[in-house]
Amino acid sequence: MRCRFAFSPVLETIQAIRLTTPDDLPGHHQGFLHSVRRQLAALDLRPVTLLQPRRGYSPDFLSPPPTVPLPRFADELARIEATPLDRVREEVTRSLRDTRGAGHTDVGRRLLADPTDALRLLTGVIRDVWQEVIEPVWPKVRALLDADVAYQSRRMAEGGLDRLFAELHPQLRWHDGVLTRERGDDEHRDLAGKGLLLIPSAFKWDQVLVILDEPWQPTVIYPARGLATLWQPAGAPELVALARLVGRTRATLLAGLTEPATTTVLAHRHALAAGTVSEHLGVLRDAGLVVGERHRHEVRYRRTALGSALLDRSA
């Protein structure tokens, strides 16, 4: 009964910063990042990116789970600015330890030297990226997040948590009152009546994050449904010709295969029924435009050379 939805402007800003690092694939945000490359180039993002190891710990104080459903950016940033300095020092030190040599760089040494200066530096980067990059497109991003919350809330109203978690995200599994994240850590948390905070994200597009540390309510951050459509304008020139040939949905799915993906993942990203995606992938596969490859217990689809050439010719 205490499960609730919210989203976070600060979290979206930090995840957008992360997509600028070489270790992270931009996915469907590649075009957007290209469109704001000048704004990003004018900012020094290293204080934040240095604390975002691909595999390791990122400071929790930089993205505290929201306490209200629709927080304002200014209020979230104020919460970060109020972080106790001993906690800033502890979490920054822990994060830098997970990236070899990070603590010995100029930025790393500055972050370690003075937690007051570190906090000022980090919040300054987050504020600049929000104002220059994210805030101008926030209405579009928020509309996607609103749509996801509305869809998921309707599913929960129709069938409770069983219905909600059955399709919240392909990386999540719900069985006998236990929510499990595939390819997750070995951490375990008994909710003990605290419920879950569920946060859809546009910029954390490729995996589910779980926050279990006290004092916050246990939190699951998952890619929002339909995010593949976020930056795709109606009647995009690169899809018009291809859509005439194979149909708009098939053209969109083909263009959206920026990396291998399963049927369920594609259904989530494009806000389509899994059966619909499977049917269209079958047609694309028979035409030689995609191929399915088994990876452990799942089949992942990728574009063939013919499929990529057809997209390039249509653009």
Do 171 and 76 share a structural domain?
no
Q: Is residue 12 part of a domain?
A: yes
Backbone torsion region of residue 22, taken as left when φ is above 0, otherwise alpha when ψ lies between -120 and 50, otherwise beta? alpha
Domain boundary among 138, 162, 184: 138
3-state class percentages of the chain: helix first, strand second, coil last, to nearest 5: 55, 10, 35
Do 48 and 112 share a structural domain?
yes
Contact 194, 218 (CB under 8 A): yes
Do 103 and 67 share a structural domain?
yes
Domain boundary among 202, 222, 242: 222
φ, ψ at 122 (rounded to 5°): -65, -45
Instruction: Find, among 169, 151, 146, the residue nearest to 261 by Cα.
Output: 169
Take residue 27 and report the two structure tokens written for it.
């996915």
Do 46 and 158 share a structural domain?
no
Buried b or exposed e, range 75-96, using 16+ CB within 10 angstroms:
ebbeebeebeeeebbebbeebb
Is residue 26's pLDDT more than 60? yes
Where helices occur in 218-300 by DSSP H, the ranges are 237-246, 248-256, 263-270, 274-286
Q: Is residue 270 part of a domain?
A: yes
Instruction: Give the separation between CA 48 and CA 84, rounded to whole angstroms.
Output: 18
Do 131 and 29 share a structural domain?
yes
Instruction: Specify the CATH number for the domain of residue 286.
Output: 1.10.10.10
H-helix or E-strand spanning residue 218 = none
Q: Is residue 1 part of a domain?
A: no
Do 123 and 218 share a structural domain?
no
Do 129 and 15 share a structural domain?
yes
Average confidence (pLDDT) over 6-29:
91
Do 73 and 18 share a structural domain?
yes
**What local confidence, expressed as pLDDT, does residue 143 receive?**
92
Q: pLDDT digit string (tens) for 265-293?
A: 888 888 888 889 999 999 999 999 999 98
Residues 6+ apart with CB under 8 A from 247: 280
**What local confidence, expressed as pLDDT, does residue 190 receive?**
85
Contact 292, 300 (CB under 8 A): yes
Contact 193, 171 (CB under 8 A): no
Do 124 and 96 share a structural domain?
yes
**What local confidence, expressed as pLDDT, does residue 214 receive?**
73
Alpha carbon separation from 156 to 5, 126, 166, 279 (Å, rounded):
11, 34, 10, 27
Is residue 42's pLDDT more than 80? yes
Domain boundary among 84, 118, 138: 138
The verdict on whether omega for the bond into residue 22 sits within 30 degrees of 0, i.e. cis, is no
Q: Is residue 258 part of a domain?
A: yes
Do 246 and 132 share a structural domain?
no
Residue 286 belongs to domain spanning: 232-314
One-letter amino acid at 169 equals H
Do 264 and 202 share a structural domain?
no
Q: Is residue 91 part of a domain?
A: yes
Q: Is residue 69 part of a domain?
A: yes
Q: Is residue 263 part of a domain?
A: yes
Do 143 and 126 share a structural domain?
no
Q: pLDDT digit string (tens) for 183-241?
A: 766 778 888 888 899 999 999 988 898 888 776 788 999 999 988 888 876 555 667 77
Q: pLDDT digit string (tens) for 48-77?
A: 999 998 788 899 899 888 989 999 999 999
Q: Is residue 227 part of a domain?
A: no
Q: How many domains, the chain?
A: 3
Provide the pLDDT confidence category of residue 1 given band limits of 50, 70 and 90.
low
